[in-house]
Structure 1
Amino acid sequence: MSTDPGKQKLKRHHHTVPRLLLRRFADGKRIMRVPLDGSGPKPIGIGDATVRSHFYSMQDATGRRDDTIENLLADLEDQAARVITKIIAERVWPLPIADRAVLGEWVAAQYARIPAVRQANNEIADQLLKMEIAIGGKAEVRRRMEAQGDGPVSDEEVDAAWAELTDFSSYYVELPVNDHLLTMGQAMATAYKAVMARSWKVCRFERKTLLLPDHPVTLVRDEDEPEWSGVGLANAAAIMVPIDRQAAIIMTASGGPDGMFPASTAVANELNRRFAWNSRIELFHHPDDNPLAGIELPPVRSVEAEFSQTAEDFIRPEGFTETA
């Protein structure tokens, strides 16, 4: 039976937390999964953890998928795995500049590739479209209908569409996957510059162990920032990333040299508390470890973007005017 040598089988199962991290928190094949919905911890295979179907697959106009992005992420993961092995097994630190650049790119990818970013982008796109409809009124609905159709539409058709489109809770807008992947690439470039500018500290533990959140890059809010402001790579007081069950990298303010972060039981507990609260639906740890002792788990996080006002606040059938 002959096969087409130019046609390769697609990778359907994509890990949103890279395998290299999962392996460092596993006993070889299994890792302990702790859901945040209260259903109880359970050991699972590494191959089954944080898997989503075609999460990083590009699509062409016909809907055909390709593995370009997934392959690039896998290649970066292989490079980062060698650097992390140097840090953990060979105890190399500070890193040579080339290795530091590889790990910086990998950290940037972990920040940009997570499901939370995609969900936040969808939530923003959903709200923006609904805002346009609410503010534009029936005239905006008519414009959209005529742009998508072959000609003028009746008032009755516009009224029916307006009633349907302003029932905002009945539908949800999602961006095309290619838009997400393009945004991911742009976010990686921005994140890389931010993490490379910081001072890196490695924190190693001899007895204490760490947990692995389903969103590995954890930001620490600067206490001097106002409560209403968000926290991002640029204004975070620190960026924390677990790289092994007994090691984490803590990126502090820019300007200082890379070095060591003092390890203690209190530091391990604080890292684990912050890692736990950065999780969205689940977290992981080595089956023999108990890094959650004394830590209250967060609820499942179902919303990423918060809006002070929503589309419902701006519904105007006649459209928005300066006197409205």
Structure 2
Amino acid sequence: MAKQTTRRCHWVAQSYLKAFATDESGRRIWRLSLNNGEPELKRIDKVAVKHHLYAPLDADGLRDDTQEKKLADLENFFGSPLWKTACNDYPDFSWEPLRKMVALLAAVSWLRTPRQFEFWKSTHQQFADFFAEQDTLPDAVTIGGRRVELDHTSWPSYRDATEEDMKQAWNSWIGQAGGIAQIFLKMRWAVLVSDQPVFITSDNPVLVGDTIGPHRGLMHPEAMVTFPLSPTRVLCMDNRHSEPDSRFYGLGHDPASTNALIWRNAIEHMFSPRNPDEVCAEIVANAETMGFA
């Protein structure tokens, strides 16, 4: 019998989205498209899903879903008591086990989306096109002041990489998310808290930088990372180390400005425990008050 491989790959973990569900069973969630349509109640297992996203074809024409299974194991954290405490209580985010868990989940959630795969493909194409136009390939590059000799034998396979080849490489990159998590660990953490379940999330839940200015790297002094944990908690990470770390801050105003950032970072869909019409009305009203609409 042929090996059964995963076909439907969710790039936003279903176990994560359950915190934003409209029902106690965690099965349905409000969804709204950036581009068209009306708000709709959807089953969580029907959203943010793409066939074979983490199961690329190997050289034998078979799909390898090893990465999908690793991601599924990691997603068990979203159902753990520790994660539920992070979503609903006031834990000490400087406690190493909790901080490491949340940092790794945030890093993987950022890297595993189709938007990141499109960025990966675009970067590969730009690199391949640039060197294809040159008369000769460079024999060496300088990285961090160190000269690195280049082997040209793998250039043809890199230049002519297929979609599945690039998917394999991207999947391997996701597996290196621990390096991003290490950077997150060193940032300053602050948690925005609401007494009511008002925050949304999206199909691109981790916002790095802002939605207007360019991302200048996680080590930049103005770097910012936003990760909605639940409808009552949003984690913000930055490099403002003059400010206290691992603190909770009451919302103190309506959630519109925070939700607007999360919404604008979406690939296609907002996910909400509330009817998106209500969320959008708050965003519009806030924009009008601020003179932006």
Offset at residue 292 of structure 1 (A): 2.3
Kept in 1: contact 2:211–2:265 (CA 8 A): no
1:52-63 correspondence runs (5 A): 52-63=50-61
Letter of the structure 1 residue corresponding to residue 190 of structure 2:
K
Match of 1:283 among 259, 270, 273: 270
SS at match of 1:176: helix
SS at match of 1:216: coil
1:230-245 correspondence runs (5 A): 230-235=215-220, 236-245=222-231
**1:84 aligned onto 2:79:** no
Letter of the structure 1 residue corresponding to residue 14 of structure 2:
R
Kept in 1: contact 2:219–2:239 (CA 8 A): no
Offset at residue 67 of structure 1 (A): 2.5
Kept in 1: contact 2:31–2:271 (CA 8 A): yes
Counterpart residue number, 1:216: 205
Offset at residue 220 of structure 1 (A): 3.3
Offset at residue 20 of structure 1 (A): 2.0
Letter of the structure 1 residue corresponding to residue 257 of structure 2:
E
Match of 2:247 among 259, 262, 267: 259
Q: Work out the number of aligned pairs and report it.
A: 255
Offset at residue 254 of structure 1 (A): 5.8
* 57-66 or 68-77, larger mean C-alpha shift: 57-66
Kept in 2: contact 1:114–1:215 (CA 8 A): yes
Distance change >3 Å, CA 101–CA 192, structure 1 → 2 = same
Cα distance between partner residues in 2 of 1:41 and 1:50: 15
Distance change >3 Å, CA 80–CA 101, structure 1 → 2 = farther
Cα distance between partner residues in 1 of 2:116 and 2:252: 32
* 125-134 or 54-63, larger mean C-alpha shift: 125-134
Counterpart residue number, 1:111: 110
Counterpart residue number, 1:167: none
Cα root mean square deviation, aligned: 3.0
Counterpart residue number, 1:127: 126
Distance change >3 Å, CA 232–CA 293, structure 1 → 2 = farther
Task: Report the structure number with the largest CA radius of gyration.
Answer: 1
Offset at residue 78 of structure 1 (A): 0.9
1:168-187 correspondence runs (5 A): 174=163, 175-186=165-176
Gaps of 5+ in 2: 137-155, 285-293
Kept in 1: contact 2:197–2:273 (CA 8 A): no
**Structure 1 length normalisation: TM-score?**
0.70
Counterpart residue number, 2:6: 11
Describe the superposition over 1:168-226 as per-residue Cα deviations: whole angstroms up to 9, x where unpaired. Answer: xxxx974532111122223x133111100012122221135011121111123599xxx
Offset at residue 240 of structure 1 (A): 0.8
Describe the superposition over 1:209-248 as per-residue Cα deviations: whole angstroms up to 9, x where unpaired. Answer: 011121111123599xxx6x53333325321100111211
Describe the superposition over 1:129-154 as per-residue Cα deviations: whole angstroms up to 9, x where unpaired. Answer: 233334449xxxxxxxxx89xxxxxx
**Structure 2 length normalisation: TM-score?**
0.77
Counterpart residue number, 1:197: 186
Cα distance between partner residues in 1 of 2:219 and 2:162: 29
Kept in 1: contact 2:189–2:246 (CA 8 A): yes
Offset at residue 122 of structure 1 (A): 0.6
Cα distance between partner residues in 2 of 1:257 and 1:91: 14
Gaps of 5+ in 1: 138-146, 149-171, 297-324
Q: Percent identity?
A: 21
